[in-house]
Amino acid sequence: MRPAFALAQLTALHCNPPQMIDLAASAGYDHAGLRLLPVAPGAVAYALMDDPALLRETLARMADTGVSVFDLELIRLNADFDPATFEAFFEVGARLGAKAVLVAGDDPEPARLVANYARLCDAMQPYGLTADLEFMPWTAVPDLDTALQIVNQADRANAGILVDSLHFDRSASRLDQLASIPAQWLHYAQLCDGPAERPSTTEALIHAARCERLLPGEGGIDLKAIWQQLPAQLPVSVEIPNDRRVAQMGVHAWAKAALQAAQATLITPP
């Protein structure tokens, strides 16, 4: 059996939730991911919590197409984190039937970060959502080792670690660490490729991650080696933003090419 594939919001950032559902369906995906909260103040996001009409349209498109919402983005854990402020987000997630929420760690105080991550897990648990902590080199969770420590210390049933192939490679995390992740902490993984030469500055790392990712097989990341350490049926979020090529090809052609490259990389022919 093949893994399920989800179209990540960042692959088609300027598509609103109903458009994401339609795009995922027409391009052949099983699921879609939606960004309901911005990565930074003023950044693109679609706050379905505050737009009942758009939420109804999203649910209608899901019913019509059969494409479900797998993951939601994103919650940042900083020094002022309060899980109560995200209650409407959790409620919408439950209405959408989402499974996972992407979590980023921005708090430089390790003990407080662990405590707030545990509080987030507790707040999300009644809504059937997992809190998937993504390690990124420019955050307070810069590598897989740090993510493993936080999730282990939090010790919550709905805790998880999100492996993004680009961040895994850029953070110099190790394959043996991947193999050590308990299966119950893995709910999905994000797939893309990137140049073999790693960016040398934080600014360049962020720009490449948000604007210049490559299709699987086009770059220098050993994707097959990474996925050999992960569960075979782990759902895959295809997250491949590339501003220049989307402008050239159109978002539908790009989303379809991304899925085809992902399938060619991860599915072994019978």
The burial of 202, by beta-carbon neighbours within 10 Å (0-12 exposed, 13-18 middle, 19 or more buried), is given as exposed
Residue 187, both tokens: 């709910």
Contacts of 42 (CB under 8 A, 6+ apart): none
CA dist., res. 137 & res. 205, Å (int): 8
Q: Does residue 191 come out as left (phi exceeding 0), alpha (psi in the -120 to 50 range) or beta? A: beta
Given this model, what pLDDT does residue 172 score? 82
Residue 200 has pLDDT above 90, yes or no: no
Average per-residue pLDDT in the chain?
A: 96
Give the C-alpha distances (Å, rounded to integers) separating 269 from 156, 218, 233, 234.
Answer: 38, 20, 15, 18
69: which strand partners? 32
Q: Which two tokens stand for residue 102?
A: 């992407």
The pLDDT tens digits for 149-182 are 999 999 999 999 999 999 999 998 999 999 999 9
Question: What per-residue confidence (pLDDT) applies to 270?
Answer: 61
Mean pLDDT of the 59-73 span: 98
Residue corresponding to tokens 């490559």 = 214
> Per-domain residue ranges for the chain?
5-266
Answer whether residue 81 shows pLDDT above 90. Answer: yes
pLDDT at residue 139 in the model? 96
pLDDT at 186: 98
* pLDDT score recorded for residue 14: 96
What value does the mean pLDDT take over residues 179-204? 94
Specify the pLDDT at position 87.
97
The whole-model pTM stands at 0.95
In the predicted structure, residue 269 carries a pLDDT above the cut 70: no
pLDDT > 90: percent of the chain: 94
pLDDT in tens, 5-43: 999 999 999 999 999 999 999 999 999 999 999 998 889
Q: What is the CATH number of domain 5-266?
A: 3.20.20.150
Write out pLDDT tens, residues 213-258: 999 999 999 999 999 999 999 999 999 999 999 999 999 999 999 9
Q: Residue 84 belongs to what H/E stretch?
A: none
Where does the pLDDT of residue 89 fall: very low under 50, low under 70, confident under 90, or very high at 90 and above?
very high
Are 194 and 169 within 8 A, CB to CB? Answer: yes
Q: Is the dihedral of CA 243, 244, 250, 256 positive or negative?
A: negative
Per-residue pLDDT at 268 exceeds 80: no
- 8 A C-beta contact, residue 123 and residue 140: no
What distances in angstroms separate CA 27 from CA 32, 62, 235, 248, one per listed residue?
11, 15, 17, 17
| Percentage of the chain lying above the pLDDT 70 cut | 99
Q: Which amino acid is at 139?
A: T
